[in-house]
Amino acid sequence: MLRDIILIIAVFILLGVFVAQPVVVEGTSMLPELHDGERLLVNKLVYYKFKSVSWGHLERGDIVVFWYPKEPDKSYVKRVIGLPGEMVEVRDGKVFINGTELTEDYLDAEHNQALPSFQPKRVDEHFYFVMGDNRDNSSDSRYWGLVPEKYIYGKAFFRYWNPSNVGFLTHGKYNISEEVKIDDVRADSEE
């Protein structure tokens, strides 16, 4: 009996260390999708870059949790907008990827009224361009730059708290195909 309890505890610890991790949303930068204080489960398998499965790598529209590049002891939750090799530009509040406007149906007018413009930015290899869904109140790649791939430690996939919003998170549907190959980019960088 004691051996079974120890085995169960060990399995849960291993799952928490290598597979999934709970995260608390702090702030309002991801409104209306995520609210302050909500609890998420984060898929940590993206860190290990399993090429053969869709949940094992990052795609445009994924909500990711990462170490903030300017203060790596803080973690942020944002949506992946620009992939390695792409040119990202924000004109009058609209995002353009390689010159094509990105359709972002998950945004709402209430949280996106400022409509600023930013200089085009090429996304370097092993980096991502991320933005909050609440563009009027989001500290993101527009202001402090790209997120190194190695700082991304998980992809949020399930909201387990607030009880009224329990369920899987929505992934954006886009009008732009992903031209970036699903290669093991991290493994290439470590060679």
Q: What span, in angstroms and rounded, lies between the C-alpha atoms of 66 and 19?
A: 15
DSSP the chain: -HHHHHHHHHHHHHHHHHTEEEEE--SSTTTTTS-TT-EEEEEGGGGGT-TTSGGGS--TT-EEEEE-TTSTTSEEEEEEEE-TT-EEEEETTEEEETTEEPP-TT--GGG--S---EEEEEPPTTEEEEE-S-GGG--SHHHH-PEEGGGEEEEEEEEEESGGG-EEPPPPP-SS---S----HHHHHT-
Q: Which amino acid is at 167?
A: G
Q: Is 49 a catalytic residue?
A: no
Q: Is 164 left (phi over 0), alpha (psi -120 to 50) or beta?
A: alpha
Active site residue 177: no
List 44, 78, 141, 155, catalytic entry: 78
- Active-site positions read 29, 78
